[in-house]
Structure 1
Amino acid sequence: MDKRLKIGGLALRAACRRELATFLNVTVGTLLICLCIAALIEPYQFASTGVTGVGLITNYLWGISPVWVLTGGNALLLAWGWKALSPRFALWTLYNTLLTTLALPLFEMFRYPLISNTILAALFGGVVGGLGMGILFREGASSGGMDVAAAVAKKRWGVDVGSASFFVNVGILVLSFVAVDFERVLMGAFSLYVESVVIDWVIKSFDRRTQVMVISAKTGEITRFIMDSLERTATLVAAKGAYRRAPMEMIMVILTRRQAVELKRFVRSIDPGAFLILSDVSEVVGEGFKKWEAS
């Protein structure tokens, strides 16, 4: 009984640590998105997509802060699809919506230096917005809008709404012509493209690891170095040479890039004749890396 309670307590503490990290990351991601809207989209009247795009259209036409459309639209979507969404996704999206409601008007109070080159402004807007969105996606959260609609439609009707979302977003971009000229719409589309590239980079880069496979006569020393100095574990794979048919052990280990460099240096120092294979891994799920719950 005591052992089960101890294990349960450890699991609870680990879950709390994970959710605390998620809280911090979602907060940073949401603030970056709000900064992007206030400093790098609104002042240049760039077009956008989703609920944000609709909010920007109302802002350009009537001077209404997009926060009202963002808050109202996301609240309606969450109310519509609350039962169809996972509790974690819904709660973090709700937190994102509430934080946006508070943070965006605050960011809009400041005056930001204008960038004379609109292409450069669109580029920076895409980078900052992409960083924010990428952080949210890594944590299994979202900024609401079309993400909520897509999740609900897939859960309720089993429909992959990727194509539908694309056409809806294109429609919102076209609708932006009632508020801004062709150049602003084009710059908005360019900024969204940059944003998508940065989102992909953020998601992949933070999870990237290096897989190292080592064939050496000094397997024991290398394994001890991995466990004692790098504080990682490894897998020993039984292997056999094709030419001499001699049995051997191959070490397989997943490391960060810095750890891979340290291991390479150590192997070279004790066994210059060792054979190493290093390859990039885009994602690792399991103990010591990303948790299954977050994948």
Structure 2
Amino acid sequence: MNTNKRNYLSIVLRTLMVTIGACFSSIGLEIFLIPNNIIDGGIVGISIISSYLSGIPLGIFTLALNIPFFLIGYKQIGKTFVLTTAFAVTCLSIGVSILHPIPGVTHDIFLAAIFGGIINGTGVGLIIRAGGSLDGTEIVAIILDKKVSFSIGQIVMFFNFFILIGAGFIYGWDRAMYSLVAYFIAFKMIDIVVEGVDESKAVMIVSDRNEDISQAIIDRLGRGVTLLNGQGGFSRLSTHVIYVVVSRLEIAKIKSIVHSFDNNALVTIGSVELAGKKYKKKPIH
């Protein structure tokens, strides 16, 4: 496949993923959250409140309020991300306008928060995987992240804190708390969709039983291990540090393996982005 065809296919797939993601988010908002006065975070949350107070359709606010952020981001972040985000927001605006006349499927606030959060988070996750976003506040957060010591996530949470307080005054504090539940569930779903259920974790193990533990990991999990040369900072004794990459679903198993040999072993776990096939799982014989 030549470069032009590959680029064309990539654009088509990205467009399709963004469109599907916006459809999911539209359903989560209009069918579950909004009918029960549960809001989302960011510009979408502000748009929901503004639409509620003014009677102007939500789709108009989601598009109009994001336009200034598109202009700012286009100059300071890059056109690909901003254009993908603009397309996603446009699809969302159309989607919520089409679905608005349809009544919500449940009046149970707790169920609405759970399923609304799951569906909305799935949609946002798909859009992020396609290289875009669904909210102008994230564009601001990316810009501010270069100038302040706070992370992008902390900046977004700062914005959302005040939005949820506003929801408490307008809808009542119980709805604000349900909004927080929906937001947390959506956040976790975004993580799952973006990283995948099979998210990779890097595990480092320091133990005197490193040979036994290494062999057990190979035999029971089918994972290749790397032995790094290490030295105790206090004892100055040489040792091997076990390095292995596993999925998040294998974390409990690897802890069990380690502790079956050495209850005093030091185990550190961190998220990694896996590239290449060297650490892919091997068949267990």
Q: Which of the five TM-score ranges fits, normalised by the shorter chain?
A: 0.5 to 0.7
TM-score, normalising length: structure 1: 0.65
Q: 1:84: how far off?
A: 0.6
Q: 1:75: how far off?
A: 0.5
Confirm or deny that 1:284 pairs with 2:274.
yes
Q: Distance in 2 between matches of 1:210 and 1:45?
A: 38
Confirm or deny that 1:96 pairs with 2:85.
no
Quick one: structure 1 residues 81 and 61, their matched pair in 2 at CA, closer, same or farther if it must change by over 3 Å?
same
Which consecutive aligned stretches of 4+ in structure 1 deviate over 4 angstroms post-superposition?
206-211
Q: 1:24: how far off?
A: 0.9
* Deviations, residues 27-52 of structure 1 (Å, cap 9, x unaligned): 10011111111111110001332111
Instruction: Work out the percentage of aligned pairs sharing the same amino acid.
Output: 21
Q: Distance in 1 between matches of 2:93 and 2:52?
A: 19
Confirm or deny that 1:196 pairs with 2:176.
no
Tell whether the 8 Å contact from 1:130 to 1:199 is kept in structure 2 after alignment.
yes
Confirm or deny that 1:28 pairs with 2:15.
no
Within the candidate set 132, 137, 145, 1:141 is matched to: 132
- State the AA in 2 paired with 1:89: F
What's the secondary structure of 2:65's corresponding residue? helix
Quick one: structure 1 residues 206 and 28, their matched pair in 2 at CA, closer, same or farther if it must change by over 3 Å?
farther
What's the secondary structure of 2:171's corresponding residue? coil
Q: Distance in 2 between matches of 1:102 and 1:123?
A: 24
Tell whether the 8 Å contact from 2:20 to 2:123 is kept in structure 1 after alignment.
yes
Within the candidate set 14, 18, 31, 2:10 is matched to: 18
Q: What runs of 5+ residues in structure 1 fail to find an aligned partner? A: 1-8, 216-234, 238-253, 258-280, 288-295
Q: 1:123: how far off?
A: 0.3
After alignment, is 174-183 or 126-135 more displaced? 174-183
Q: Distance in 1 between matches of 2:13 and 2:101?
A: 29
* Deviations, residues 136-191 of structure 1 (Å, cap 9, x unaligned): 12222100221111122235x36545433322211111011232011111111111
Q: Distance in 2 between matches of 1:176 and 1:209?
A: 37
Within the candidate set 66, 69, 79, 1:77 is matched to: 69
Tell whether the 8 Å contact from 2:85 to 2:135 is kept in structure 1 after alignment.
yes
Tell whether the 8 Å contact from 2:32 to 2:115 is kept in structure 1 after alignment.
yes
RMSD of aligned Cα (Å): 3.6
Q: Distance in 2 between matches of 1:193 and 1:179?
A: 21
What's the secondary structure of 1:64's corresponding residue? coil
Within the candidate set 45, 56, 65, 2:57 is matched to: 65
Tell whether the 8 Å contact from 1:29 to 1:132 is kept in structure 2 after alignment.
yes
